[in-house]
Structure 1
Amino acid sequence: MKQLQQQFLVVLFFVCTAVFSQQKEFNGDPDVTFETARKLAFDGQRKQAQDSLVMLLKKYPNYNDIRSFLASTYSWDGNYKQAKKEFLHVLENDPKNETAWVAAINNELWSEASFSALEMAKKALENLPNSEAILLVKAKAEEKSQNPEDALKTVNYILNLNNNNVDAKNYLESLNQSLRFNSVGITSSVDLYSDEFDPMQFYALTYKRITKYGSIIARGNFSRRFNDNGTQFEIDAYPKIAKGLYAYLNIGFSNSYLYPNVRFGAELHQSLPHSLEISVGLRSLKYSETTNIYTGSVGWYTGNSYWSFRPYFTPGDSGTSTSGTLNYRKYNSDADNYFSISAGIGFSPELYQFEFEGNEDKIISLESQKINFGYYFTSKSKQNAWGTQLGISHQEISFDPGNFFWVTTLGVSWELKFK
């Protein structure tokens, strides 16, 4: 039945179009034609609907509902500039049209023109003071303009006007999550070897701060390996450079042979069309000698999934060692809730930070295969985040080439976010 209705609407549209083309002006019922165009637009035939709406506006240029709906279809198609032109025409004739103001402001937000959206919201409130719908999009524009504290004040003002505003309550919960710029976390893992080595323990304590320039992470690492203890202190930074371009910087220090004396990392990440991202970078580990590792990545977001591949190239006197890891993530509600699986081959000092004692060429050419599973989830309030990890590695023994041992890695993590 629905298919017959859609076919009827298409036939009706073409009949109307044929009639329009033979007339100098439209003489039919504008309300009936408008309703037909709306149904066509909602059924995915927006080009036909837009043609019909434009024809109507030639006869009824001040029919604001038609023009506003036409603007909305342009916005849905990503034609934000044309949508803005039509919305402004409506608002010039009807400055108290709340629905048009909200749609026009959302059009600016969708086009990532957050400052323009904020200015538009302020102008809308001059005509419609205390409009809860306009105040809500104003709060969203403030958040997108890197003013989340102002957004919080605005949404609280809405709730003072109407404590039963469900949309404002839901947005307040989301906003409180985004205002948690600080976090502390603990990570613990253990490597269980099939033979040769006793279990090796790893712990890390982190503090993270999100700023408008990017994230900064301070981390203290502690290891229990080879019946000895060692610590390492490092800092990660992810500075924003330009739209779609950011960097990764790392520096770490240790006075224990269990870690490099100095660790350094740098990488550039660039977003590309079609939800792709690429990066290129360097890692440097200084023991008695310095080992440089060249790396990069290719990532692809598709729906709620993310794929990435990262190779490592480690030059040495006997040639260049190559390793790589393929990673997959399946996201649930947000970026903190996901399942991951990764698989890799080859030995990389980036992932296995041991003192090589001058045997770098021999060790980085070792054969290795690994697979890791992870599950990460948050509390209902999103304030607490947990993670569990399971990894299995098949590693060639450095002092017994050709023979392998198995390594099982178990890990847990916890993070607390706060303002």
Structure 2
Amino acid sequence: MKALLFTLTFLVLTGWFPFLTFAQSSTETDFQKAREIAFEQKNYSQAIQLCKQVLQQDPEYIDARILLGRLYYWNGAADSAIVELKKAYEQMPAYEDATQALADVLYFEKQYDEALHYLAAGLTQHPQSRGLLTRKATVLAGKANYKQAYRLADSLLAGDPNNDQLLALTSQLREYSYENRIELTYDYTHFDEQFADAWHLAGISYGRQTKIGPITGRVNYANRFASKGWQFEADAYPRLSRTFYTYTSFAYSADLPIFPKVRAGLSLYANLPKAWEVEAGARFLRFDESIWAYTFSVGKYIQNFWVNGRTYLTQGNNSVANAYSLNTRYYLKGADNYASLIVGWGVSPDDRSQAVRLNSNEKLQSFRIGGGYRFAVAKRHIFSLNGNYENVEYLPETKGNQLNISTLYQFRF
């Protein structure tokens, strides 16, 4: 005890305590400065040097080592990043930030099994950590274990419905959750002026999950223009990477003008950070003449909401017609439970029940507004009901009203 008191007295008298306090203050100041330079100025090289200085003064400063690992990765040095983050993890295995940072880099480097190993270890320490569980779902999806990824993400979303990142992930995984699905659809259109008879459109489809993505075959039957006809189509959503996937579609019918002879589509989608998604694509319809349409859309998940704005530039029959739409969904309990609202102008080439109206030599206007509700029963049974009111210019300066009702039932297995 006397020796301890002597040592403390000596440190105070010789001025070592102020030095130690200054050293701690200096490392904290340098660490905060490194964060500022990294996050605000995006000067990763300078921030790396500051983190190294901090670790030279205090090799046990774990937050500085985690930041250094992340900075190495952002600066294109993946191997150095993994080395530093493994050092941080080994220094304190129970520290959740170290596990999360290491799992992030391993995921981006497609080292999925190793990422799952560290996440499993982290979850033994923090079994209810939503950060670790969300990363586990993301890694499982990267590994193409879509069923398990969807179930985990969907269960997390049920407890945190305002999490837009989880909502985006769950929505992306929804089509991968089961290998097979059968879908029945029916659309009814009533006219007050343009036609005496209502339009009817029914369809049945079978979809299957494959290694490249969902593929669907569909048969459509329509009764409109006082005639009947059939259409056969197939579409797919091949996934190219974690960020990009595509939409491809082709349909054929021998029953013109009930259906276009040929309808085809191609789009490229990009899932961007912060729950953004963008799309660019083209559509082709062949009636007696060919019609091309180019489409662009931007969507974002904002807590419980998904908002998507879309435009079409349609050219054909010596005319150009623009179409615009704003679609909003409010998610309730999961990716298959939401209410929707849509406002639009013009005719969409993707609207199976109305796209035949593009077979016209006139550039006619229309306005529509509608809403709907989609819900799941026992996860396998999906039901949807939508209604739209539309004010349509069917002849130059001549307008009529129509009511569209759409229903859907899907069984997944």
Band of TM-score, shorter chain: 0.5 to 0.7
Find the aligned partners of 1:240 and 1:150 in 2 and give their Cα distance: 18
Residue 204 of structure 2: aligned partner: 205
CA 1:411–1:247 in structure 2 vs 1: closer, same or farther (change >3 Å)? same
Q: Render the CA deviation track for 1:168-187: whole Å, top value 9, x for unaligned.
A: x99xxx89995313222222
Matching of residues 119-158 of structure 1 within 5 Å: 119-122=114-117, 131=124, 141-148=139-146
Paired position in structure 1 for 2:398: 403
Please say if residues 370 and 393 of structure 1, whose CA atoms lie closer than 8 Å, have aligned partners that are also in contact: yes
Given that 2:175 and 2:214 are in contact with CA atoms closer than 8 Å, whether structure 1 keeps it comes out as no
SS in 2 for 1:107: helix
Match of 1:370 in 2: 367
Letter in 2 for 1:146: A
- Give the Cα–Cα distance (whole angstroms) in 2 for the partners of residues 257 and 183 of structure 1: 30
Distance 2:64 2:386 in 1: 54
Instruction: Trace 1:182-197 onto structure 2 (pairs within 5 A).
Output: 182-195=180-193, 196-197=195-196
Please show how residues 77-226 of structure 1 align to structure 2 within 5 Å. Answer: 84-91=82-89, 94=91, 99=96, 102-108=99-105, 112-113=107-108, 115-122=110-117, 131=124, 141-148=139-146, 179-195=177-193, 196-226=195-225
Contact 1:30 1:56 in 2 (8 A): no
Shift of 1:409: 1.0
The separation in 1 between residues aligned to 2:374 and 2:297, in whole angstroms, is: 25
Maintained 8 Å contact 2:314/2:320: yes
Q: Give distance in 1, aligned partners of 2:146 and 2:279.
A: 30
Q: What secondary structure sits across from 1:411 in the alignment?
A: strand
C-alpha distance in 1, partners of 2:348/2:23?
71
- Structure 1 contact 101–124 (Cα < 8 Å) conserved: no
Corresponding residue pairs, total: 364
Superposed displacement of residue 229, structure 1: 3.0
Q: What corresponds to 1:19 in structure 2?
A: none
**Which residue does the alignment assign to 1:6?**
none
Supply the distance in 2 between the matched residues of 1:240 and 1:380 (Cα, whole angstroms): 28
Structure 2 counterpart of 1:415, one-letter code: Q
| Residues 1:251 and 2:250 are matched in the alignment | yes
1:277 maps to which residue?
278
In structure 2, the CA distance between the partners of 1:350 and 1:338, relative to structure 1 (3 Å rule), is: closer
> What is the letter of the counterpart of residue 141 of structure 1?
V
Q: In 2, distance between residues paired with 1:347 and 1:118?
A: 44
- Deviation string 1:180-199 (CA, Å, 9 cap, x unpaired) is 13222222221111134222
Distance in 1 (alpha carbons) for counterparts of 2:138 and 2:197: 54
Q: Greater shift after overlay, 175-184 or 231-240? A: 175-184
TM-score (norm 1): 0.66
Give, in angstroms, the shift of residue 204 of structure 1.
1.5
Instruction: State whether residues 392 and 407 of structure 1, in contact with CA within 8 Å, keep that contact through their aligned partners in structure 2.
Output: yes
Question: Is contact 2:71–2:81 with CA below 8 Å preserved after alignment?
Answer: yes
Note if 1:344 corresponds to 2:345: yes
| Post-superposition offset of 1:390 | 1.6
How high is the sequence identity, in percent, across the aligned residues? 15
- The one-letter amino acid of 1:181's match is E
Q: CA deviation at 1:386?
A: 2.5
Matched, 1:240 2:235: no
**Can you give the 5+ residue segments of structure 2 that lack an aligned partner in the other structure?**
1-15, 41-46, 160-169
Distance, in Å, in 2 between the alignment partners of 1:347 and 1:237 is 20
Q: Could you tell me how far 1:122 is from its partner in structure 2? A: 4.3
TM-score, with length taken from structure 2: 0.67
- What root-mean-square deviation, in Å, do the aligned CA atoms of Structure 1 and Structure 2 show? 5.0
Where in structure 1 are there 5+ consecutive unaligned residues?
1-22, 156-165
Contact 2:186 2:406 (8 Å CA) reproduced: yes
Deviates more, 1:302-311 or 1:114-123: 114-123
Alpha-carbon distance between aligned partners in 2 of 1:220 and 1:89, rounded to the nearest angstrom: 58
Amino acid at match of 1:339: S
Aligned to 1:15: none
Secondary structure at the counterpart of residue 262 of structure 2: strand
1:389 correspondence with 2:382: no
CA contact (8 A) 2:70 2:101 kept: no
Aligned runs of 1:314-329 on 2, under 5 Å?
314-316=315-317, 319-329=318-328
Counterpart of 1:28 in structure 2: which amino acid? T
Q: Distance in 2 between matches of 1:402 and 1:130?
A: 66
Task: Report how far residue 407 of structure 1 moved.
Answer: 0.9
Q: 1:366 to 1:393 in 2, by over 3 A?
A: farther
